[in-house]
Chains A and B, each alone.
Chain A
Amino acid sequence: MKVINQVKLEMLNDSKNEAFARVVAASFAAQADVTLEEISDIKTAVSEAVTNAIVHGYSNSVGYVGLDCKLMDAENPLLPVRVLEIEIRDNGRGISDIARARQPLFTTQPELERSGMGFTVMETFMDEVIVDSSPGQGTKVILRKEIGAAGKLPKKSVKSGVDAGSEAGGIDD
């Protein structure tokens, strides 16, 4: 895929920057032919990833969250779509069990009223979510979304967390 445009940004892990990060991502995405729904999806997914970096990656320590936005040409003559790729990076504590962290309703901090829905939201609102992390090595989340594919590709159905939870978690006997 050919990179059309790119923005790289580093921000302090201040929770005020959650709003800043989503505005940056939405503004960057606006140069492509995005729908209002796609903008809303992108803002929500970025908000989840940046919040994870601040709440779980760094908890009480000070650090920086990286936000890289890339717009790429899929170079597919049959389907002229662009791909928005957003990378959210921290140098925090990392995740020991990524598969478990991605499960709906899983949270390490229920006392802080974390819903445990962050990754589920990212996966529902974006086309692809890649998580690269290990303990002590920080976390990198890559969010991808095809832009301009609306109406050309079959839409993903929206699955609720409660349903997804009982499928993945084996709550039923």
Chain B
Amino acid sequence: MLNLYRKGAMLVVRLEGELDHHSVADIRVEIDEALEENLPEILIFDLANVSFMDSSGIGMIIGRYRQMQEQGGRVGFVGINQKIDKLMQVSGLLKIIPIIEGSEADESNKPSQTGNA
């Protein structure tokens, strides 16, 4: 359902499968625990393997964005795929959270990151 790993000052959250009201309940708790433990400067949501998302997923991401803002941190996206693109456009989320490109995004898209997780 989700995969968390630390990379320098970044915490990457790789989400998988369907993000709805039912599934975000557990995801929210796991991310919040990792945020508390790691206190990252940057939180990255990797959505490449998300097959479905509705506004409950948007609500969960906005909630984490607010937390990061309070701590002076930043949030970014990688892997916005075609299945969720329309929802992301409608939500307006891409206006407040940037899509990270370049080497950072490439790193977080690698299939497995062991070692410093």
Residue numbers of A with Cβ under 8 A of B are: 15-16, 18-19, 22, 37, 40-41, 43-44, 47-48, 51, 54-55, 112-118, 120-121, 124-125, 158-163, 165
Contact residues in A for B59 (Cβ distance below 8 Å): 112-115, 117
Q: List 20 A-B contacts (CB under 8 A).
A: A16-B22, A19-B22, A22-B52, A40-B52, A47-B52, A51-B20, A51-B21, A54-B21, A113-B28, A113-B62, A115-B56, A115-B62, A116-B55, A117-B58, A120-B90, A121-B54, A125-B86, A158-B89, A159-B90, A162-B92
Q: In the docked arrangement, what's the CA distance between A158 and B73, Å?
A: 30
Contact residues in B for A37 (Cβ distance below 8 Å): 86
Q: In the docked arrangement, what's the CA distance between A129 and B62, Å?
A: 26
Instruction: Report how many A-B pairs have Cβ atoms within 8 Å.
Output: 82
> B interface, by DSSP: helix, strand, loop or mixed?
helix
A-contacting residues, B75-113, CB 8 Å: 83, 86-87, 89-92, 95
Q: In the docked arrangement, what's the CA distance between A47 and B92, Å?
A: 19
Q: How far is the CB of B71 from chain A (nearest CB, A)?
A: 17
Residue numbers of B with Cβ under 8 A of A are: 18, 20-22, 25, 28, 52-56, 58-60, 62-63, 83, 86-87, 89-92, 95
